Amino acid sequence: MAIILNGNDLAKKIRTKVKAQVAGMASPPGLAVVIVGDDPASRFYVNNKKRDCRICGIVSHEFALPENIGEDKLLALVHELNNRPDIHGILVQFPLPKGYDAKKIIHAISPDKDVDAFHMLNAGRVLYGEYDFLPHCTPAGVMELLDEYSINLKGKHAVVVGASNVVGKPMAMMLLHRHATVTICHIHTVDLASFTRQAEILVCAVGKVGLITADMVKPGAVVVDIGFNYKEDGGVCGDVDFDAVSQVASYITPVPGGVGGVTRAMLMRNTANAADMLSCK
């Protein structure tokens, strides 16, 4: 039976450190959270982020906009937030409703306040390994989780299933910087199982229920499930068949209780670090 990589416990540790960091500041950092429309999943995520802000002593500023606000007004708000001295982090909750250019919105956010690290400048820093202050929250959270359990990455074969700009690609780069040998798979990969069976470290971030089954996992592999899916019964699950794969893997993340909470904790850390950086400018 695999050892559970407990993200909830690690998230608490990170938030405690962030709270101490914030307590030492002259004034608390401000995080602007922009939500467009009334998507229930987005509202769930935003409420959790606001709760984490309260725990860490970060001031949360919510901007709830109607779905038909329009791209120009959304961009105008982002530019306003870029210039507000009481705002140190800006987060636009994705996905946006149809008709909005997500890339345009992302690139309008000041890189210094881009606490999601989606801006091309911050994304480029990952390529060079220069992401100490504003890393992508989910991949950085995975790295923290692996470190928490002293999982050695050097020389290991890591397979990342998912090649998005915000999770899969930066995840691969972070593993590469820690001297893992990395393979990236995606929706067009032929015979996915032939790659996943080679993985000593298997990270899945696709968003498809039951994608990774026990026969696709190398015995003793470390399995990190970043997927988040809603089940028909109203519950949530990842991309990995947890019950079966946990009998094969050496370590595994649950969903929920794995990567999600650590991701939000990393957002709090990024916001505090952004405030520190901006205070030095």
The 3-state DSSP class for residue 58 equals coil
Name 243's Cβ contacts closer than 8 Å, sequence gap at least 6.
none
pLDDT over 80 (residue 153):
yes
pTM of the model: 0.95
Neighbours of 11 (CB within 10 A): 25
Assigned token pair, 40: 């229930």
HSE (side-chain half, CA atoms, 13 Å) at 201: 26
Minimum mean pLDDT range among 52-56, 99-103, 126-130, 214-218 = 126-130
d(CA 36, CA 42): 9
Packed helices 120-128 and 168-177: angle between N→C axes, nearest 10 degrees? 30
Catalytic residue among 52, 93, 114, 218: 93
All CATH 3.40.50.10860 domain ranges of the chain, comma separated, are 26-111
Q: Is 104 a catalytic residue?
A: no
Per-residue pLDDT band for 132 (boundaries 50, 70, 90) equals: confident
Distance of alpha carbon 273 from its chain centroid, rounded? 16
Domain limits, CATH 3.40.50.720, in the chain: 137-260
The CA–CA distances, whole Å, from 165 to 118, 134, 170 equal: 8, 15, 7
Kindly name the residue from 52, 112, 114, 116 that is annotated as catalytic. 116
Given a contact cutoff of 8 angstroms between Cβ atoms, the answer to whether 124 and 94 are in contact is no
Could you confirm whether 49 is annotated as catalytic?
A: yes
Please check whether the domain covering 137-260 is classified as CATH 3.40.50.1370.
no
Is 116 tagged catalytic? yes
Give the pLDDT score at 119: 95
User: Which of 81, 31, 86, 20 lies closest to 58, judged by CA?
Assistant: 31
Burial of residue 83, with CB atoms counted within 10 A of its CB: 0-12 exposed, 13-18 middle, 19 or more buried? exposed
Residue of 49, 113, 156, 169 marked active site = 49
Q: Which CATH class is domain 26-111?
A: alpha beta
